[in-house]
Amino acid sequence: MQTGQASRTAYAAARYRAAHQVLEHGSIFRDPLALKILGHEPDELLADAPRRGMRMFIAARHRFAEDHLAAAVSRGVRTAVVLGAGLDTFAYRNPHPSLTVLEIDHPDTQAWKRERLAETGITIPENMRYVGVDFEHEKLELDLDGPAFFLWMGVVPYLTIEAFTETLSFISEGTGNEVVFDYAQDPERMSAERRAALEARAARVAKIGEPWLTFFDPTEIAERLVGLGFGEIEDLGPSGLAARFFNRPDVPPETPGGHVLHTRHP
C-alpha cells in the first residue's frame, strides 16, 4: 500500500464479504456488519457484484478461521490478534465474552477504519484495542498474557518473504499460540485460463501499489512451519475447501489455487 493512504485491497475484501451476505445470504460465513461498515445498500452490490469465485473463497477462509478460533476459545485461549485487520468486523461482533481482540494494521488503514466505524455507528467494544504496525518496516511486538490466536487473512501474498518469516517467527515464540492464514500458489502451476485470470488480478492490485510478492506450495509452507516448531497443520486448498464448505467432493486434490491453513505451536 502507498504511505498516507488506506489499503485499497482491504476495501475490496470487505466488498466480497458484504456481497456474500447479499447474494448467498451468508450461507457460508455470516457477517451482519459487513454491509454496515461499508455504508452500502444491498442493491449497490447486486448491481456491481464482485466475482463469485473470489467471493466464495473469502467467505470460506473466514468461516475456517472463525471455526478454529471458537475451538481455541473452548480450550482456554483468551486473546485474538487480527493481523492486517483492514475492515474486518470480528472484533465488533465477537461472540466470546472472555475474548480480548487486538487489531494490528498500518496506521493509515486504521485511521480510515475508525472513520468508517464512527460514520456508520458501529460501537468499538471495551475488550479490543488497536496497534499500528507497518509489517514491511517494523517488527511485531506485543505483550501477550498467555497463548493467543492470530487471524491473518488476505495479507501474506502482499508481504515479502522476509516480512512473512519475521511475523511467523514472532507467533512461534509463544507457547500455545495458533494462527490461521491464507496463501497463494504460483500461477505457473495453473491452467492457462486460470493463470491468465490470476495474472490479470495481480496486475490490477500492483497498479494500485499493492503487488503480490510471495507464493508458496503446500510442501514448502509445511517445511517452514515445522522448522519453527509448529505442529497440527491443517491446510485446505481448492479441493479441501470445496469438500468442506460447498459439498463438492469431486474437486481433484492436486487442484492449485488459494489455500487456508491453521497451525498451532505446542
Mean pLDDT of 42-65: 87
pLDDT score of 210 more than 60: no
Other C-beta atoms lying within 10 Å of the C-beta of residue 140: 18
**pLDDT level of residue 5 (50, 70, 90 thresholds):** very low
CATH number for the domain running over 8-264 = 3.40.50.150
pLDDT score of 129 more than 50: yes
Residue 130, beta-bridge partner list: 103
**pLDDT level of residue 36 (50, 70, 90 thresholds):** very high
Instruction: State the Rg of the chain over Cα.
Output: 18
**pLDDT level of residue 32 (50, 70, 90 thresholds):** very high
* Rounded-to-integer distance, Cα 4 and Cα 92, Å: 25
Copy the grid coordinates of residue 5.
Answer: 493512504
Q: Among 48-57, 200-209, 216-225, 236-245, whose mean pLDDT is lowest?
A: 200-209
3-state helix, strand, coil in the chain (%, to 5): 45, 15, 40
Q: What is the DSSP letter of 158?
A: G
SS3 258: coil
